[in-house]
A and B are shown apart, each in its own frame.
Chain A
């Protein structure tokens, strides 16, 4: 049994965890073999980060502190990668041409 990796990060992009950010988050989560979960509070409830239906249903707006945890193979990498994605504002348009 590998250790549980945990992290937390503030959602900074304007629209929060809506369609495109959720697509990116779940895609990234699915690229790891371990179980990856997110929560809006440290004590849960925890949501399967690989399910876009469940991630979208959380309706997390900008400013939410998002908790991330993973257990299993590559769990540390998974949490680090997801945290970085949220920190980068999901790579949403930063005013670059053609980024729409």
Chain B
């Protein structure tokens, strides 16, 4: 047994976990070839059955989109067609993992080549199916994560994250991964401690470990002093959370008596099922990427309308800001985004929406039809020149006229923008055509500091409290206050109670935060006094 080891990464989701390390092993590598084709085929049947059982048991724990994904994957697994095709390859001498990979890769390529984006987007599910069976084949336990462990993996698919029951504790440590990934958002929304980018250092399997998601730190085989310090930090954090939870539905008022609006970020319509509406002042950011690709293909107008209406109904008249599809960058949507060398500086957000009007118009119509059912605001991502606002507004007007002509109930929502490109933050006056500003601090920081947010080597560079970023935030906020343009911030910084005083000091009075962080951010607001902060 080695001594204590301190492993650093980037904090992706705050929280504390204590438990044994569980190292994931990749399928295929540790597979031991069987002596006859019959045994290979038998191993494949068993692995498919194992993977199906894992998915079936996970289905009971999720609802909505997540359940639909799992149901689809289960149906594909239970279908004999893949195993039948693999059996043919096995009979000519291949091992089960090789045969399974050949069959699934061919199927995946077929889907990827589809002209229809809905079908092309299913390739991610097939990749999941392929990997789950390969894991089961190699006899490792990657397909199932035991309860309560600190799971250490290269990266993890959203479906596998969803398939695990995190309510029994434990946490997630990724060697690569990104704080901006879908899994990181899911982890933050559900309060699962998670760190990313720890690299390839050796970690002892099954060793006792302590995970601090806030500090981005994993302590393996800790000594008693480290355990005591960890327990202290955890109890303090839990006490703060308990105190904050007790008054979560009270408004967030600073010690000077200024009310700060605290709204919530949601990534999936089902997120609202876990959030009491009385705790928040509305939805500051509803993403729509996860309604789109990856999970169920490009959604039709009625599917989108149903998702938007669900959140509007839940909000009981409080504002709901829905962001139009922000695909591209680190959020590819199969069959929609374009592979690029430098995707963060390429076709993403509103650029892609304007370039693919046939997809954008479906979303616009769904938003126009949802607007009468609540206080809907629409937010355009990645705006970098004023003309993009005008173009989008014109498309909204055209679709509204079309709906009016057809006698369909609709309403024109307020149309605002994300402030995440420096061109907007430097000259907000040029973008006054927007009804509101919402500062996307993650992207703004990476663009101001020229530090890719998914490059874990640059962790120290991409910090929102860099003076250049804070000055731009103050610039946008001041312009908004002086000209009556509502300004909020919806990046990860809003969810960090240690950043609250800095953001309020920069003039912000409207923050949109991850669901699990609402209470602690409100508590941080209540501790704030104007003038006590530098700057």
Contact = CB atoms under 8 A, between A and B. Distances in A.
Contacts of A95: 302, 305-306, 309, 369
Given A14-B302, A18-B118, A59-B116, A52 B75 contact: yes
A96 B219 CA distance: 49
Interface stretch (A19-27, A35-43, A69-77, A80-88): A19-27
Majority-rule SS of B interface residues? helix
B100 to A, nearest CB: 14
Interface in B279-325: 291, 296-303, 305-307, 309-310, 313
A9 interface: no
A100 interface: yes
Size bracket, chain A contacts: 20 to 34
Given A15-B297, A100-B307, A53 B76 contact: yes
A16 B110 contact: no
Contacts of A22: 72, 75
B60 to A, nearest CB: 17
A16 B300 CA distance: 10
A18 B310 contact: no
A62 to B, nearest CB: 9
A57 B303 CA distance: 23
Contacts of B82: 53
A95 B110 CA distance: 32
Interface string B121-138: 010010000000000000
A16 to B, nearest CB: 7
Given A93-B302, A97-B310, A52 B76 contact: yes
B298 A56 contact: no
A46 to B, nearest CB: 15
Contact of A61 (B80, B116, B302): B116
A99 interface: yes
B81 interface: yes
Nearest to B74: A23
A100 to B, nearest CB: 4
B232 interface: no
B114 interface: yes
Given A51-B81, A93-B306, A19 B300 contact: no
A94 B300 CA distance: 10
B68 interface: yes
Contacts of A57: 107, 110
Given A51-B80, A56-B122, A57-B110, A16 B309 contact: no
B79 interface: yes
A59 B79 contact: no
Contacts of A96: 306
A15 B76 contact: no
Contact of B75 (A23, A59, A99): A23
B114 A98 contact: no
Given A23-B75, A94-B302, A100 B269 contact: yes
B301 A18 contact: no
B268 to A, nearest CB: 9
Interface string B173-217: 000000000000000000000000000000000000000000000
Interface in B2-37: none
B245 interface: no
B65 interface: yes
B306 A98 contact: yes
13 contacts: A13-B300, A15-B300, A18-B296, A18-B297, A19-B296, A23-B72, A26-B79, A51-B80, A53-B82, A93-B302, A93-B303, A100-B269, A100-B291
Given A93-B305, A98-B310, 20 more contacts: A14-B300, A14-B301, A15-B118, A15-B297, A15-B298, A18-B116, A18-B119, A18-B122, A19-B297, A22-B75, A23-B75, A52-B72, A53-B81, A54-B81, A56-B76, A57-B107, A93-B302, A94-B302, A95-B302, A99-B310
